[in-house]
Amino acid sequence: MVTSRQGLPSWINAAAATRVDFEGNVEDVLKDVHDDSTSQKSKPVTDVDLSFGERAFSAAGAAFLSAVIVNPLDVAKTRLQAQAAGVPYKTCLETNTMFPELRSSQSCARSVLGSEPVCSPECNRYKGTLDVFYKVIRQEGFARLWRGTNASLALAVPTVGIYMPCYDIFRNAMEEFTTNNAPILTPYVPLVAGMVARSLACVTCYPVELARTRMQAFKETQSVVKPAGVWKTLVGVINPVTSTNYIQNLQNYRILWTGLSTQLARDVPFSAICWSTLEPIRRKLLVSKGDEAGACSILGANFASGFVAGSIAAAVTCPLDVVKTRRQIEKEPAKALKMTTRQTLQEIWRDGGIKGLFTGLGPRVGRAGPSVGIVVSFYEVVKYALHHRHEDH
Can you spell out the DSSP letters for 185-244? GGGGHHHHHHHHHHHHHHHHHHHHHHHHHHHHH---SSTTSPPP-HHHHHHHHHGGG--S
CA distance 333 to 353: 27
Output the pLDDT for position 311: 96
Output the pLDDT for position 380: 83
- In a domain, residue 118? The reply is no
- In a domain, residue 117? The reply is no
Output the pLDDT for position 62: 79
- In a domain, residue 130? The reply is no
Q: What is the pLDDT of residues 35-65, one digit of tens each?
A: 444 444 333 334 556 677 777 777 778 778 8
Q: What is the CATH number of the domain that holds 262?
A: 1.50.40.10
pLDDT tier for residue 18 given thresholds of 50, 70 and 90:
very low
Instruction: Tell me the sheet residues that pair with 148.
Output: none
- In the predicted structure, residue 290 carries a pLDDT above the cut 50: yes
- In a domain, residue 98? The reply is no
Output the pLDDT for position 305: 94
- In the predicted structure, residue 16 carries a pLDDT above the cut 80: no
Least confident of 16-20, 357-361, 367-371: 16-20
Output the pLDDT for position 219: 64
Per-chain mean pLDDT for the chain = 74
- In a domain, residue 122? The reply is no
Output the pLDDT for position 136: 86
Q: What integer is the mean pLDDT of 334-362?
A: 88
Q: What integer is the mean pLDDT of 333-346?
A: 82
CA distance 190 to 333: 38
Q: Are 59 and 375 in contact (CB under 8 A)?
A: yes
Task: From 251, 249, 263, 248, select the one nearest 204 (Cα to Cα).
Answer: 263
Q: What integer is the mean pLDDT of 384-391?
A: 73
Output the pLDDT for position 144: 83
- In the predicted structure, residue 96 carries a pLDDT above the cut 80: no
Residue of 290 and 337 predicted with greater confidence = 337
CA distance 17 to 9: 10
* Residues present in the chain in total: 393
CA distance 366 to 310: 9
Q: Are 390 and 10 in contact (CB under 8 A)?
A: no
Output the pLDDT for position 2: 37
- Helical (H) or strand (E) element with 28: strand 26-28
Output the pLDDT for position 192: 92
- In a domain, residue 40? The reply is no
Q: What integer is the mean pLDDT of 275-285?
A: 91
Output the pLDDT for position 127: 86
- In the predicted structure, residue 102 carries a pLDDT above the cut 90: no
Task: Answer whether 0.85 is exceeded by the pTM.
Answer: no
- In the predicted structure, residue 187 carries a pLDDT above the cut 70: yes
- In a domain, residue 240? The reply is yes
Number of structural domains in the chain? 1
- In a domain, residue 66? The reply is yes
Residue of 284 and 58 predicted with greater confidence = 284
Q: What is the pLDDT of residues 291-326, one digit of tens each?
A: 666 778 888 889 999 999 999 999 999 999 999 888
Residue 123 Cα to chain centre, angstroms: 31
Output the pLDDT for position 317: 94
- In the predicted structure, residue 229 carries a pLDDT above the cut 70: no
Domain that holds residue 84: 46-88+140-392
